[in-house]
Amino acid sequence: MKIFNRSKFISGKKIDKFIIQIEATLVDTVHEMELTITVDLKDMVIIDARSSMLRVPYSHCHKVSDLVKNLVGLKVINNGQAKSVSQLTGGKQGCLVLEELSQDALKAISQTGASLIPPNQYEHIIDSYTHGSCYTHCLSIEEKIEAAYSRQCLEDTYKKQKTSIRTPKIVAEP
């Protein structure tokens, strides 16, 4: 007999040219939370964050819902991001479940922004963020091309990368 269940649903959408919004929901036996994070991909920074605790085990839990506002200004897809989120939403003054949902929502930024970030910059940003924490992103470019499901697409991406200046900041289109 199951005595505990937890489900999460995370989606990302484009709001404007380089603005995306991540919506995350967590529902379990004792919690129901919603989180919305808005990100400016040009500057790779969170520009808005809101949460709502619809069902919690204690009335005191509602007091920490606004902690996600501390995420505004946080650089994303960046080394040290997880530690920053933990410090801003977790700990003795925070909520472990809200921190977990925030971490999951931030992980969705790279997938949501993938189609909006120019390919020659996307792979560099992802590699710098995941290097040392993801098997595939620790491989060489050649190894990635060899293993890619969409090999031609990845080869084209790396060819473009070699001919352009690699910078983690997004260059606005004219």
Give per-residue pLDDT as tens, 109-136: 888 887 777 666 666 666 666 666 777 7
Owning domain of residue 153 = 119-163
* 141 and 81 co-located in one domain: no
Q: Is residue 170 part of a domain?
A: no
Residue 134 confidence (pLDDT): 75
Are 67 and 153 in a shared domain?
A: no
Domain annotation covers residue 45 = yes
Instruction: State the pLDDT at residue 119.
Output: 64
Q: List, for residues 56-95, the tens digit of each pLDDT value.
A: 999 999 999 999 999 999 998 777 888 999 999 999 999 9
Query: Alpha-carbon dihedral of residues 155, 156, 162, 164, nearest 10 degrees?
Result: -160
- pTM for the structure as a whole: 0.75
pLDDT number for residue 122: 67
More confident residue, 97 or 116: 97
Q: Say if residue 104 is in the same domain as residue 133.
A: no
Residue 171 lies in a domain: no
In a domain, 149, yes or no: yes
Q: Are residues 102 and 140 in the same domain?
A: no
Question: Using one digit for the tens of pLDDT, what is the confidence trace for 149-162?
Answer: 665 665 666 565 55
What pLDDT was estimated at residue 153? Answer: 61
- Count of structural domains within the chain: 2
pLDDT at 152: 61
The reply to whether 174 falls in a domain is no
Q: Are residues 78 and 154 in the same domain?
A: no
Give a yes or no: residue 133 inside a domain: yes
At residue 166, does pLDDT exceed 60? Answer: no
Considering the domain boundaries, does residue 31 fall inside one? Answer: yes
Angle at CA 14, nearest 5°, toward 155 and 76?
Answer: 70
Per the prediction, the chain carries an average pLDDT of: 83
In a domain, 83, yes or no: yes
